Structure 1
Amino acid sequence: MAPAEAASGALVFRPARPEDLVAIVGLFVGDEAGGHGDTLDDAVMPRYEAALARILASPNDRLYVAEEEGRVVGTFQLTFIQTLVHRGRLRATVESVHVAGDRRSRGIGAAMIAFAVEEARKAGAGVVQLTSNKRRTQAHRFYEQIGFTRSHEGFKMELDEQA
């Protein structure tokens, strides 16, 4: 599953690189509804660097950025999970979809998701799934408008804030 690079008008989608890390984390920090405690504090950056290295080394993970005139304005992660259900279907999960606050409602999110779906299709995935925080009702409407359906109720268990 080789990563791809594509352009959509002035918007370019490409695999994230280590030098994009501060911009990517900045998107998380700027997300008022995120609530994940993300920070650009120098003391935390080694954790982000280690996580990025693992993602970039994984054959099942792809981290992309959306770039506009050289500026990172969006990011998302695409993870492939091989399952046995549905006759051994490959599943693609879209995670951590973020668009810069000053660039929202301009089609960047829709373009990123369309790119993710096409990448999943090229990789042979039979389904694309994503989760969204229950508080993000506007995002839920957006995902439904672009073809996603509500199908499952998600659960999570925090094991360790520092892990």
Structure 2
Amino acid sequence: MIRTAKVEDADVIAELLTQLGYEKTLSFMPNRILELLDNPDAMLFLYESEGKVVALLSLHVIPQIALFGSFLRISYFVVDETVRSREIGAELEALATKIAKERACDRIEVHCHERRKDAHRFYERHGYIESPKYFIKNLYM
């Protein structure tokens, strides 16, 4: 079952994000969830299996100035390592595609760290192509 996240899910969301290498997020997670739920261009979904949350999908619709459509960014996407390869990721990716089409997006974008080779293969199987370079500027270290 796919559902919208709630503030009460802060613990499990923080646990899933730890699997992506984002540790110590629990202290600010409830506020982040509220902020995302209040933003009409942000969506935060959880996947439940057998009564347990096992996946997270965070999406943002970003309007473009130079192109007709907006784009959908997959901000965070993680399936618990104990249940991978069960098509849960495929279901969530299909949801992202459906939302992108409904919101008149012309593409979906995802940043996936170089070390996540299995995730790269997942995205390629679902029609994504690599578009290098990605620059970031850290403001707080």
State if a TM-score over 0.5 links the two structures. yes
1:119 is aligned with what amino acid? I
Q: Which residue of 2 aligns with 1:120?
A: 100
RMSD: 1.4
- Structure 1 segments, 4+ long, off by >4 Å, are none
Mapped partners of 2:137, 2:83: distance in 1? 32
Q: Which residue of 1 aligns with 2:139?
A: 159
Cα distance, 1:69 vs structure 2: 2.0
Q: Does 1:39 align with 2:24?
A: yes
Q: Which residue of 1 aligns with 2:53?
A: 72
Q: What whole-Å deviation, never above 9, does each CA across 1:59-95 have from its counterpart, x for those lacking one? A: 1100000111221110011100000122x32111012
Tell me, what secondary structure is at the counterpart of 2:100?
helix
Q: Which residue of 2 aligns with 1:143?
A: 123
Tell me, what secondary structure is at the counterpart of 1:85?
coil
1:53 is aligned with what amino acid? L
- TM-score normalised to the size of structure 1? 0.81
Q: Does 1:99 align with 2:84?
A: no
Q: Which residue of 2 aligns with 1:25?
A: 14
Q: Which residue of 2 aligns with 1:57?
A: 38
Tell me, what secondary structure is at the counterpart of 1:67?
strand
How many percent of aligned residue pairs carry the same amino acid? 28
2:138 is aligned with what amino acid? E
Mapped partners of 1:69, 1:35: distance in 2? 25
After superposition, residues 79-94 of structure 1 pair within 5 angstroms as: 79-86=60-67, 88-94=68-74
Cα distance, 1:113 vs structure 2: 0.7
Cα distance, 1:107 vs structure 2: 1.2
Mapped partners of 1:68, 1:118: distance in 2? 21
Mapped partners of 2:64, 2:8: distance in 1? 33
Cα distance, 1:134 vs structure 2: 0.7
Number of positions where the alignment pairs a residue of Structure 1 with one of Structure 2: 141
1:68 is aligned with what amino acid? S
Q: What whole-Å deviation, never above 9, does each CA across 1:88-132 have from its counterpart, x for those lacking one? A: 321110121011111111111111111111111112211111110
Mapped partners of 2:82, 2:56: distance in 1? 14
Cα distance, 1:151 vs structure 2: 1.8
Mapped partners of 2:128, 2:32: distance in 1? 28
2:100 is aligned with what amino acid? A
Structure 1, unaligned runs of 5 or more: 1-11
